Amino acid sequence: MKRITVYVGPRCPHCEAAKAYLDKKGLRYRVVDTATPKGKKLLAATGSRGVPVICIGDTTLRGFSPKAVEKALKGE
């Protein structure tokens, strides 16, 4: 299974939707809180400034799209 990391921020409805989607699929993932100094540094390392950012294996998704998540999980 590919490693999944979700970068989230406070009061972010798209972040909550992304986590709920992954939960519904029964997938395990790591959450990075970008409100913390460490989380901000980790987010910057992805080349992104906004959230959500979802990293699935070597694929980085900016924003949340169920179709994009499915493609990344399949390796497309």
pLDDT digits (tens, 9 = 90+) for 25-67: 999 999 999 999 999 999 999 999 999 999 999 999 999 999 9
pLDDT at residue 1 is higher than 80 = no
List the beta bridge partners of residue 61: 54
Instruction: Tell me how many domains the chain contains.
Output: 1
Domain around 54: 4-74
Listed residue (69, 32, 25, 68) closest to 51, CA to CA: 32
Q: How far is CA 42 from CA 2, 33, 46, 70, 71, in A?
A: 19, 9, 7, 24, 24
Distance CA 35, CA 24 (A): 25
CATH of the domain at 28: 3.40.30.10
